């Protein structure tokens, strides 16, 4: 470390050297600043040209940035790391803690307001003791071999009638045709997404009895199009203890894993990725939207049996790149393809 570096805060030096190593940033002002291509405007067409300066703000001493092309500027916060797709939680926490101690709101990094997904987490799941609700609850229990009651439905954010849920929460604007809404309410069981922006709908009646646009097994109903379609079993975690992040493709997988394999385990997150391509987006959501640190966390990936070796290599490369320890699981019970089944039909093989 040179004489100049001794005058600079260690969190900035760590960020600068990381950007030089991983993003080909160039030193400026003898190391007091570094220059990279701007992640906000995309910078110029010339790949060798860069306009975003990162350094120490002379006025408030925070680690800050400024693009001389699009004028994006501000203190380095979560949005900055998200734009650059940096997952190194040690580095992120080091920089954010430094800026936060100087009185900076690190949830944003731009000098103008960033858009955020509205959360509907405090909505109420209606419960009715009707033949329809009992029949759909019986379907859920049959799928996972469970003994859930109607009073368990809100805990697991299961929606047994979509129109009841929307009406109960005063959501009067619907995103599908009224006839489609009736079919979704009558013939589907729903799972409220992690931010309340979507309902993941599972068809429970024969496909010939619904509109052709609803004949796939799953349909996502949109409440807020800017949200996420991941389903999460609502549980609190203590970041001071080791956390198991359990990820599977569908909501019934997640529900069964919770109910049959990990019901009594402390400090876990169980989520569905809504398909093979969702793993990356779930991790981004947890880190950037929820501020979760991946330190002291192990990812448990519950694979469907139709997954390809290429998919596994993509998962492996992603998890290694962000330094997240991981374990792959398969259900090797004969004839079953995933974990969305009763416990006696699960042989959890690592």
CA dihedral 340, 345, 346, 347 (to 10 degrees): -150
- Does 335 score more than 50 pLDDT? yes
Q: What percent of the chain has pLDDT over 90?
A: 57
The pLDDT value recorded for residue 118 is 45
- Does 211 score more than 60 pLDDT? yes
The pLDDT value recorded for residue 287 is 82
The pLDDT value recorded for residue 88 is 80
- DSSP secondary structure letters along 266-291: SSEEEEE-SSGGGHHHHHHIIIIIS-
Contact 256, 343 (CB under 8 A): yes
Token couple for 346: 């699960």
- Does 2 score more than 70 pLDDT? no
Q: What percent of the chain has pLDDT over 70?
A: 94
The CB density around residue 156, as the number of other CB atoms within 10 Å, is: 20
* pLDDT tier at 174, thresholds 50, 70, 90: very high
* pLDDT tier at 119, thresholds 50, 70, 90: low
Q: How far apart are CA 349 and CA 183, in angstroms?
A: 38
What is the pairing mode between strands 243-248 and 231-232? Answer: unpaired
The pLDDT value recorded for residue 115 is 30
The pLDDT value recorded for residue 234 is 78
- DSSP secondary structure letters along 221-271: EES-TTS---EE------TTS-EEEEEESSHHHHHHIIIIISTT-SSEEEE
- Does 106 score more than 70 pLDDT? no
The pLDDT value recorded for residue 323 is 86
- Does 39 score more than 80 pLDDT? yes
- Does 126 score more than 80 pLDDT? yes
- Does 19 score more than 70 pLDDT? yes
The pLDDT value recorded for residue 107 is 59
* pLDDT tier at 117, thresholds 50, 70, 90: very low
- Does 295 score more than 90 pLDDT? no
- Does 54 score more than 90 pLDDT? yes
Q: How far apart are CA 65 and CA 23, in angstroms?
A: 15
The pLDDT value recorded for residue 90 is 81
Mean pLDDT in residue range 161-187: 94
* pLDDT tier at 259, thresholds 50, 70, 90: very high
The pLDDT value recorded for residue 341 is 97
* pLDDT tier at 187, thresholds 50, 70, 90: very high
- Does 291 score more than 80 pLDDT? no
Q: Mean pLDDT across the chain, nearest whole number?
A: 88
Mean pLDDT in residue range 293-315: 92
The pLDDT value recorded for residue 220 is 95
Q: How far apart are CA 258 and CA 157, in angstroms?
A: 14
Q: Is 68 left (phi over 0), alpha (psi -120 to 50) or beta?
A: alpha
Show the CA angle centred on residue 201, arms to residues 195 and 205, nearest 5°. Answer: 165
Q: Which residues pair with 190 in a beta bridge?
A: 159, 201
Q: Is 29 left (phi over 0), alpha (psi -120 to 50) or beta?
A: left
Q: Which of residues 197 and 237 earns the better pLDDT score?
A: 197
């Amino acid at each position: 470390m040179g004489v100049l570096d001794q005058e600079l805060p260690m969190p900035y030096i760590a960020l600068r050297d990381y950007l030089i190593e991983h993003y080909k940033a160039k030193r400026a002002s003898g190391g007091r600043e570094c220059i990279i291509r701007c992640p906000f405007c995309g910078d110029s067409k010339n790949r060798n040209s860069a306009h975003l300066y990162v350094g120490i703000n002379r006025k408030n001493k925070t680690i800050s940035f400024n693009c001389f092309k699009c004028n994006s500027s501000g203190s380095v916060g979560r949005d900055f790391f998200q734009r650059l797709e940096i997952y190194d939680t040690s580095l992120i926490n080091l920089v954010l803690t430094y800026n936060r101690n100087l009185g900076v709101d690190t949830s944003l990094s731009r000098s103008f307001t960033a858009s955020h997904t509205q959360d509907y987490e405090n909505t109420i799941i209606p419960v009715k003791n009707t033949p329809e609700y009992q029949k759909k609850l019986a379907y859920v229990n049959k799928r996972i071999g469970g003994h859930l009651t109607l009073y368990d439905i809100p805990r697991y954010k299961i929606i047994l009638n979509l129109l009841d849920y929307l009406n109960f929460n005063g959501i009067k604007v619907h995103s599908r045709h009224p006839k489609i809404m009736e079919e979704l309410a009558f013939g589907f069981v729903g799972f409220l997404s992690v931010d309340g922006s979507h309902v993941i709908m599972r068809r429970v009646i024969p496909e010939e009895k619904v509109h052709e646009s609803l004949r796939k097994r799953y349909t996502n109903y949109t409440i807020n199009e800017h949200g996420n379609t991941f389903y999460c079993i609502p549980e609190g975690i203590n970041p001071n203890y080791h956390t198991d992040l359990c990820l599977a493709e569908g909501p019934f997988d997640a529900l069964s894993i919770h109910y049959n394999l990990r019901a009594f385990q402390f400090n876990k997150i169980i989520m569905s990725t809504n398909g093979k391509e969702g793993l990356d987006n779930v991790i981004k959501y947890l880190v950037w939207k929820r501020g979760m640190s991946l330190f002291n966390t192990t990812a448990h990936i519950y694979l469907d049996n139709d997954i390809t070796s290429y998919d596994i290599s993509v998962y492996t490369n992603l998890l290694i790149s962000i330094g997240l320890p991981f374990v792959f699981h398969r259900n090797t019970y004969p004839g079953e393809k995933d974990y969305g089944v009763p416990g006696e039909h699960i042989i959890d093989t690592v």
